[in-house]
Amino acid sequence: MKLFFTLLVASILSLLSQAPVRGEVKLPNIFGSHMVLQQQQPIRVFGSADPGEKVTVSFAGKKGTATAGTDRRWQVTLPAMQASNTPQNMTIEGKNRIEITDILIGEVWICSGQSNMEWWLQNSANAKQEIAAANFPEIRLFDVTGHTMHREAQANTTGTWKLCKPATARSFSAVGYFFGRDLYQKANVPVGLVGSNWGGTKIEPWTTIDGFASVPELKHYSDGLKKLDLSTQEGKAHHREYLDRLEQWISKAHKKVNSNQPTGSPPPPPSLRDLDAATAIYNSMVHGLAPYSLRGAIWYQGESNGDEGESYYHKMRALINGWRKSFQNPELAFYFVQLANYREGNKPEERWARLREAQRKTLHVPHTGMAVTTDIGNSDDIHPRNKQDVGSRLALWALRDIHGQNVTPSGPLFRELKIEGNAARVLFDYAPNGLMAGEKKGLAPTREVKDGKVSGFLIAGADKQWHPASATIDGNDMLLSCPSVPKPVAVRYAFLQDPKGANLYNKEGLPASPFRSDSW
């Protein structure tokens, strides 16, 4: 509890005062010894200095200069370089001199989202053995510590670069670690992982104003955020109200903790939506990293937006567009996790099914990929412990699309429905070697169920009444029928909150994504 309130107080202090230190060149924390720089992309080095101060950056035989502007910001861009596991040093010189040591060049990824991304390695399946084996000095970890938000974009974040070893990996994102480990081992390249995540958060506070503005369906967000512009009286009034409400909550929670009443977790603060806090986590926990050169982002979030459908697709577009602009990379790879199977109380069965549909639709955005996890969740636990398969499935996209490896990055994805008399034929992408009924247990590879039946399909006619379908594998397609549906018009697969029994895989052992052909 003491740590909890320490973090909250720190957040308030950062909200109230961000006075710059003048007189010397400063770097944000993302630059430091043991860091990894992104290969094959311009290397951007940036920071603050006195207005008009000349800053020189030297690295690997290259040198660049910049002059700090009236806003004290400066940026030097060095040419792109190839991956290297030979440690090198960087110097930054102005009125003072900074030296950064033990720098590698490789692949840099940000690992973000809510609790299933934040979930530490020490809490994952097989944790003791995984931690003991987490000794990879060419994998480097940078964790944005604490949970903070701010109405204004901040020029820095918390965190320092650390070598990946048992003592550091144990409290890093398990999904991020397993993703990075696969990249390192299979692409033979140094890897830098930047963790910035916060359990229980919605997608909106991670999204930039520019991101909201880029999606016509979300224009009301960007218009509303203009009210929070601190250059206007209206924005200043909103900001004061925001601080007052947050301080009142901290005061009440603090009194409760220091009383003799038994307490568990303190009551939650006002919701992010109530605080009009869209962009507020991005401002505090991501903006200070940009425009550090990144290869991409991995994203595991959606549980807190689980009541949504199509609107989440629009918000994913906004998130991706905004981050690509901030990190000055229009082709920033963005790989995300489709929500796992989970039954939550008496919520409608289709609740997360529609959210997963919005996630699948996000694959229409270029340079994206999705890891399907409906076979490795836990019906009784929103935090499934198998993070190994999640990280590995995300890494498949990078291994194929970035490193040119001949791998299938996804399980079957619905492509087309064809009606053939009283049957329905379902065509898929990502089934190059065929389909199978599979069984996945724990961390073991998927096992093909010989002579097994594929389950999880429903079929309907024009009356919109759904019936279990008889499903037959026909080459790379599925052929569905049902005596009660002589004239089928639509099919669904695993379109449930917790799709138990759904067992369609490709021959590579990757699960098919839930889908529906209808829009009912």
Same structural domain for residues 376 and 428? no
With a CB cutoff of 8 Å and minimum separation 6, the contacts of 239 are 151, 228, 230
Greatest alpha-carbon span in the chain: 82
Parent domain of 134: 1-254+268-410
Same structural domain for residues 163 and 20? yes
Same structural domain for residues 66 and 109? yes
Q: Which of 382, 154, 481 is nearest to 290 (CA)?
A: 154
pLDDT category at 271 given cuts 50, 70, 90 is very low
Q: How many distinct structural domains can be found in the chain?
A: 2
3-state SS, residue 295: coil
pLDDT-above-70 percentage for the chain: 84
Domain assignment present for residue 428? The answer is yes
Cα gap 434→454, rounded to integer Å: 13
Cα gap 479→285, rounded to integer Å: 48
Q: What is the mean pLDDT of residues 124-151?
A: 96
Q: Quick check: 244 pLDDT over 70?
A: no
Domain assignment present for residue 259? The answer is no
Q: Is the C-alpha dihedral spanning 342, 346, 352, 353 positive or negative? A: positive
What's the token pair of residue 212? Answer: 């909201």
pLDDT-above-90 percentage for the chain: 80
Cα gap 397→369, rounded to integer Å: 6
Same structural domain for residues 199 and 57? yes
Q: What is the pLDDT of residues 62-87, one digit of tens each?
A: 999 999 999 999 999 999 999 999 99
The mean predicted confidence, pLDDT, of the chain is: 89
Domain of residue 281, CATH code: 3.40.50.1110
Domain final position from 386, 410, 434 = 410
- pLDDT at 265 (0 to 100): 40
DSSP code for 290: T
Same structural domain for residues 376 and 437? no
DSSP code for 508: T
- CA torsion, ordered 247, 248, 250, 253, to nearest 10 deg: 180
Same structural domain for residues 315 and 371? yes
Type of residue at 281: I
Same structural domain for residues 231 and 308? yes
Q: What is the pLDDT of residues 211-241, one digit of tens each?
A: 999 999 988 787 777 665 655 666 666 656 6
Domain final position from 348, 382, 410 = 410
Same structural domain for residues 388 and 418? no
Same structural domain for residues 480 and 363? no
Same structural domain for residues 364 and 421? no
Dihedrals phi, psi of 491, to nearest 5 degrees:
-135, 160
Sheet holding 413-420, edge to edge: 413-420, 423-429, 477-481, 470-474
Domain assignment present for residue 263? The answer is no
